[in-house]
């Protein structure tokens, strides 16, 4: 049965609609009258009765320039004793999404925002996303984790609050990175940065960024020294035509110190909230569990890596990280490419982290982070489990029981649905990037790039296109070969051909 016409084959918008239909993602999941379920604008007088007032603090967000859903903001004050008060402020989305309302039920069903190359399908209605986002220059409701941290990264005190904040700026990662690369500079030119509100200056922001960075460096080192693992994959990003949504060029989005700064404090907040909830909700806390990699797959991967004289100790997350560092942190020009290749290979035996209900009889730890308890708290605008965690934490803060979340089965159903929707969203996001890559290659009339062979099978080999960080399977007639670096050529049909330096030989070596 013909349900409708998507458009012409090869058209970006038509192909995108096809992706959404294939993965059962609605372009407009909310009814037109959904705004009737939005709460009325909050009154400051009422909210200040039970919220901590942080509006006089220098608080700001750091996000990509395209970000619309501003979940988090940070603050940092140097205390008289030499310790730091760090504020991790997360949008209080649970104030806007009341439990059991039609709005809540749709958000629970969607479970996550879906990110495509050219647009985002938000979990929450766009108008509500804007209401909840921690935009600068206006009072916003938040849930704040306030920490006292020593200069060597020890958390000596933690407190959770429902709060009111007033973000003074919406910084981009590039702004924060500029501060970090010029830490001795004073009197920054305000016109080079976004507007700063609330009586603060861009110099105030720069100082806070640098103090946060000092702590983040220490926290990151402590985390990896204690056995954490990071398998970071640079994401393929595109410059697109704003009118047609067609790709113009591509590049790999690499992480910088400013990204790591945010990551460290978000991870820390998630860990601290998880540790708190598991004591208050010992039977129903919603956690994020990551099991160790599959042992059979590990053996296969270890053999593949040894072909390239790469020996990885798979005993623990920490041992994998230390082994990996020997090949990717040697200060050599090709370290970045080595990191792409090794991370691609190491990701294969890894299982996906999943949401789950706390269970004293099971291993609740997070393998990669090497912590006993972990959850998602820091992105409630785009993840429903974070809203659940917020409701639990606010129940702790107010000392008021939240009856619906005292039933493990309720949390279990939320976890199962959230896992399914998160995995589905990941597939759509990856398919969108693949579609854009194929479209751009066709538009350019072909593309020639270097690739590295990750695995050799009987009738094919798997290669990693280094400039795009994508994996391709190449089926060949030559069975006996050993390849590392090849020039990969895509033709208009996106089939894969290879130009080998010694193309007349039946066996090739590097």
What CA–CA distance (Å, rounded) separates 98 from 402? Answer: 12
Does this model's pTM top 0.85? My answer is yes
C-alpha pair distances (Å), 256 with each of 174, 213, 270, 273: 9, 12, 21, 26
Phi, psi of 177 (to 5 degrees): -65, -40
pLDDT for residue 509: 30
What distances in angstroms separate CA 176 from CA 153, 172, 211, 254, 256, one per listed residue?
21, 7, 12, 15, 10
pLDDT at residue 153, as a whole number: 96
Q: How many CA atoms lie within 13 A of 268 on its CB side?
A: 30
| pLDDT given for residue 1 in this prediction | 64
Instruction: Kindly give the parts of the chain with pLDDT less than 70.
Output: 1-3, 477-510
Q: What is the C-alpha to C-alpha distance for residues 403 and 502, in angstroms, rounded to an integer?
A: 71
Give CA angle at 439 (434, 442), nearest 5°: 125
Q: What is the pLDDT of residue 306?
A: 78
Candidates 1.10.10, 2.40.50, 1.10.20, 2.60.120; CATH matching 446-510? 2.40.50
Domain assignments of the chain as residue spans, ordered by start: 12-274, 446-510
Q: How many CB atoms lie within 10 A of CB 412?
A: 16
Closest C-alpha among 459, 228, 231 to residue 347: 231
- pLDDT tens sequence across 13-52: 888 989 999 888 988 899 999 999 999 999 999 999 999 9
Cβ-based neighbour number of residue 240 at 10 Å: 19
User: What angle (nearest 5°) sits at the alpha carbon of residue 151, between those of residues 148 and 156?
Assistant: 30
């Amino acid at each position: 049965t013909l349900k409708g016409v998507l458009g012409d084959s090869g058209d970006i918008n038509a192909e995108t609609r096809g992706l959404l239909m294939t993965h059962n993602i609605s372009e407009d999941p909310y009814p037109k009258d959904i705004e009737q379920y939005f709460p009325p604008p909050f009154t400051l007088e009422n909210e200040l009765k039970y919220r901590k007032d942080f509006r006089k603090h220098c608080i700001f967000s750091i996000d990509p320039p395209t970000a619309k859903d501003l979940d988090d903001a940070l603050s940092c004050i140097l205390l008289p004793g030499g310790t730091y008060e760090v504020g991790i402020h997360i949008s209080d989305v649970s104030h806007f999404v009341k439990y059991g309302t039609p709005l809540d039920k749709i958000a629970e069903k969607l479970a996550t925002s879906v990110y495509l190359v050219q647009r985002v399908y938000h979990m929450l209605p766009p108008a509500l996303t804007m209401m909840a986002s921690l935009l600068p220059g206006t009072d916003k409701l938040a849930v704040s984790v306030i920490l006292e941290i020593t200069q060597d990264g020890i958390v000596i005190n933690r407190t959770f609050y429902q709060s009111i904040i007033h973000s003074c700026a919406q910084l981009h990662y590039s702004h924060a990175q500029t501060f970090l690369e010029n830490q001795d500079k004073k009197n920054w030119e305000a016109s080079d940065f976004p507007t700063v509100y609330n009586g603060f200056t861009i110099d105030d922001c720069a100082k806070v960024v640098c103090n946060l960075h000092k702590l983040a460096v220490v926290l990151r080192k402590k985390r990896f020294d204690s056995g954490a693992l990071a398998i970071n994959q640079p994401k393929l990003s595109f410059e697109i035509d704003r009118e047609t949504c067609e790709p113009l060029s591509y590049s790999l989005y690499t992480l910088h110190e400013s990204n790591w700064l945010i990551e460290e404090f978000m991870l820390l907040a998630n860990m601290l909230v998880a540790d708190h909830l598991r004591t208050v909700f010992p039977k129903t806390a919603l956690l994020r569990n990551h099991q160790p990699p599959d042992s059979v797959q590990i053996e296969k991967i270890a053999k593949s890596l040894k072909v390239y004289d790469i020996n990885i100790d798979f005993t623990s997350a920490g041992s994998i990280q230390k082994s990996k560092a020997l090949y990717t942190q040697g200060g050599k020009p090709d370290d970045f490419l080595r990191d792409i290749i090794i991370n691609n290979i190491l990701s294969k035996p890894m299982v996906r982290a999943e949401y789950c209900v706390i269970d004293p009889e099971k291993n609740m730890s997070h393998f990669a982070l090497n912590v006993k308890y972990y959850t998602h708290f820091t992105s409630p605008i785009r993840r429903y489990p974070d809203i659940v965690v917020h409701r639990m934490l606010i129940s702790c803060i107010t000392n008021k029981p939240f009856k619906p979340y005292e039933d493990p089965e309720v949390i279990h159903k939320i976890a199962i649905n959230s896992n399914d929707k998160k995995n589905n969203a990941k597939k759509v996001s990856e398919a969108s990037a693949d579609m854009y890559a194929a479209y751009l290659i066709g538009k350019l009339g072909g593309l020639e790039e270097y690739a590295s062979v990750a695995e050799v099978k009987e009738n094919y080999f798997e290669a990693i296109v280094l400039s795009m960080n994508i994996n391709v399977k190449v089926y060949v007639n030559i069975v006996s070969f050993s390849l590392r670096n090849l020039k990969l050529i895509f033709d208009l049909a996106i089939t894969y051909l290879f130009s080998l330096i010694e193309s007349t030989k039946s066996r090739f070596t590097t």
